[in-house]
């Protein structure tokens, strides 16, 4: 039987400072619970098979979509459906919880210097 572990999000967020580099902090079935710090603009991309949940813990962010932007503040989330082109943007540093299938690559269909395939588990 697996051990039950309490996770303190503030403590986990204090363990790293790098931007656009998701860290795995938990797993629910085949989904990873990740934390990421954002500032600036990410790349436009989509995920062929995975939906993505963005929950803002601190700060503000925007998920740009072809049909219009979704602005998120603390305590708000949005689910981006699989196949939908999107770009996360945060003008000031934002702390975000992601819930997405374990197979999800952060840059989706795009490969560049921000692509993270092997994520740290903290």
**Predicted pLDDT of residue 3:** 85
Q: What is the pTM of this model?
A: 0.93
CA 91 to chain centroid: 16
pLDDT of 1 strictly over 70? no
Sign of CA dihedral 113, 114, 115, 116: positive
Closest CA to 92 of 66, 65, 62: 62
> Domains (ranges, CATH) in the chain?
9-101 (2.60.120.10)
Alpha helices in 1-122 (DSSP H): 9-13
pLDDT of 38 strictly over 70? yes
């Amino acid at each position: 039987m697996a051990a039950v572990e309490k996770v303190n999000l503030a403590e986990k967020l204090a363990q790293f400072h790098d931007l656009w580099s998701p860290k795995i902090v938990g797993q629910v079935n085949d989904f990873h619970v990740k934390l990421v710090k954002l500032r600036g603009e990410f790349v436009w991309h989509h995920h062929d098979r995975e939906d993505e949940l963005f929950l803002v813990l601190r700060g503000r962010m925007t998920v740009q979509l072809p049909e219009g932007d979704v602005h998120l503040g603390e305590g708000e989330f949005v689910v981006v459906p699989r196949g939908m082109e999107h770009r996360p943007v945060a003008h000031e540093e934002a702390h975000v919880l992601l819930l997405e299938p374990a197979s999800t690559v952060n840059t989706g269909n795009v490969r560049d210097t921000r692509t993270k395939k092997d994520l740290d588990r903290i």
